[in-house]
Amino acid sequence: MKEVKVIADAPNATAVDFGSLAEIKDYVLELGPGVKIPGKVFGGAAVKAGGADFSFQVFAPGTEGGFYHVHKEHEELYFFLSGEGEYQVDGKNIPVKEGTVVRVAPAGKRTVRNTGSAPLTMLCVQYKAAEPGSVNPSDGTILNEPVVW
């Protein structure tokens, strides 16, 4: 089984390497006795994320998530990085392909499937749901100091 490698760990940053997107298929997520999901890996704990989690997942052609799921508090953003398929939320099928992003509220009943002939790869970012617009892009501060590499 493939493992995430820590490549930097400092007080204000942690960096990890999952390998190439083509290698995501080599991960196996174990959710409990007898429950293994091939081609899925979470990364929030590895980068020490406090307010969010994320996972990469790849579906071979003709495969699907295999179950519906919902969340209690977490909203999810799904970024489709390659391939094509369908993402289903509350019975509505949404066509997805490289470049598609789908947001799902906590109560949305969701699943995904690969309808194409190539792997369907996605990045899912999970975070506590809030009112739209409550995150302000102007939260950042540009520092008045030269960049030194």
Res 135: pLDDT:
79
Q: Is residue 145 part of a domain?
A: no
Total-model pTM:
0.91
Total number of residues shown for the chain = 149
Token output for 32: 């409990």
Could you tell me if residue 138 is inside a domain? Answer: no
Measured torsion, CA atoms of residues 54, 37, 40, 52, in degrees rounded to the nearest 10 = 10
Give the pLDDT confidence score for residue 126 in this predicted structure: 96
Q: What is the pLDDT of residue 146?
A: 96
Three-class secondary structure of residue 17 per DSSP: strand
C-alpha–C-alpha distance, residues 83 and 95, integer Å: 11
pLDDT tens per residue, the chain (149 residues)?
689 999 999 999 999 999 999 999 999 999 888 888 999 999 999 999 999 999 999 999 999 998 999 999 999 999 999 999 999 999 999 999 999 999 999 999 999 999 999 999 999 999 999 888 777 878 888 899 999 99
| Pairing relationship of beta strands 52-59 and 110-114 according to DSSP bridges | unpaired
pLDDT of residue 33: 86
Residue 1's pLDDT is what?
65
Write out the H or E segment, with its range, that includes residue 102.
strand 101-104
Nearest Cα to Cα of residue 77 among 116, 36, 110: 110
Number of domains within the chain: 1
Asked if residue 29 is part of any domain, the answer here is yes
The CATH number of the domain holding residue 55 is 2.60.120.10
Question: What is the rounded distance in angstroms from the CA atom of residue 43 to the CA atom of residue 40?
Answer: 10
